[in-house]
Amino acid sequence: MKCYECAREGKNTDAVGICIVCGRGVCKEHLIREETPAWEGSYPIELKSDQEHIKRIVCVPCHVALKENCLFDEVC
Ligand SMILES: [Zn+2]
Ligand SMILES: [Zn+2]
């Protein structure tokens, strides 16, 4: 899988992770490892057990969207 963000910039970079929100591939430059607090039971997508290790990776656009929606911020 290729990085979606890099593809938009005309680059061709292998993805190292998958955004948990939109499911797009992201390279190490474009992934964000969110320290999500207990995001209880309501992940945007259902995670399989073998995806646990990547569950906190989101892409840049989704990170922005999630911040705007205060999903990561308990004191919003
Ligand atoms: Zn990238
Ligand atoms: Zn995303």
Answer with the residue of higher pLDDT: 42 or 28: 28
pLDDT tens string 33-54: 865 544 555 556 555 555 555 4
Higher pLDDT, 56 or 48: 56
Number of domains in the chain: 1
Any domain includes 12: yes
Query: How far, in Å, is the centroid of ligand 1 from the Cα of 18?
Result: 11
Would you say residue 47 lies in a domain?
yes
Task: Average the pLDDT over 14-39 and give the result.
Answer: 82
Domain span at residue 53 reads 4-68
The predicted pLDDT at position 14 comes to: 96
Quote the CA–CA distance of 26 and 31 in Å, as a whole number. 5
Quick check: is 62 in a domain? yes
* Residue 14 CA to ligand 1 centre (angstroms): 8
Distance 73 CA to ligand 1 centre (A): 25
Residue 76 domain-assigned?
no
Asked whether residue 73 is assigned to any structural domain, the reply reads no
**pLDDT at position 24:** 94
How many helices (H) and strands (E) are present in the chain, helices listed first? 2, 4
Ligand in nearest proximity to the CA of 59: 2
Distance 67 CA to ligand 1 centre (A): 20
> How buried is 53 (Cβ within 10 angstroms: 0-12 exposed, 13-18 middle, 19+ buried)?
exposed
